[in-house]
Amino acid sequence: MTIRIRRYIAAFLDLYLPGSILFLFVSLVEKYFEFNLNLDLFIGVIWSVVLMKDIFTGQSIFKKLLGLKVVYKKTQQPVQPLISIFRNFLALPLFPIEIIALLFFGVRISDRIFKTEVVVADRMKIVSIYKELREYKTTAYIRDYLLSFILAILGANIYGTFLVIFLF
């Protein structure tokens, strides 16, 4: 399987799985507990998970399973967590353009801006991924999550405003 195909699969799963799980959770909570959850909060949680997907040594869980890694072009070192969050945040308002660029040119616009690329890496087994996630510092994770949550709410509002202005 080519790197491009693996990248498409990882991207699809990185976006689809968190959204599906959280949508199912929200649906169940609203149905069985008759509790209406705030849509902005729901979108913020989904997108913050998506923004943080590559903070673990430049790899999301699906990138690890498929043998891919986000690195700096110049040094080939894994992308730093905060750069990864900003790289993924930039994709929010540029989402349609990012998809077109990825499909036709095999590179995201945010990769060009942050001078990163997705390269082939060793595939990891789920047990190894679990061990690596346990070693990640809790304070750094909380900091990264809070930042990505704030950016996700901001990005969702920017993207929503963009859609309203240009589509209606």
Q: What is the pLDDT of residue 38?
A: 64
Place of tokens 């061990």: 131
- Within a domain: residue 121? yes
- Within a domain: residue 48? yes
- Within a domain: residue 167? no
Q: pTM for this one?
A: 0.72
Count: domains in the chain: 1
**Phi and psi, residue 118, nearest 5°:** -100, 125
pLDDT value at 164 more than 60:
no
Q: What is the mean pLDDT of the chain?
A: 78
pLDDT value at 74 more than 70:
yes
Domain containing residue 94 = 3-161
pLDDT in tens, 6-57: 888 888 888 777 777 777 777 777 777 776 666 666 666 666 667 777 877 8
Q: What is the pLDDT of residue 53?
A: 76
- Within a domain: residue 103? yes
- Within a domain: residue 168? no
Rounded-to-integer distance, Cα 151 and Cα 92, Å: 10
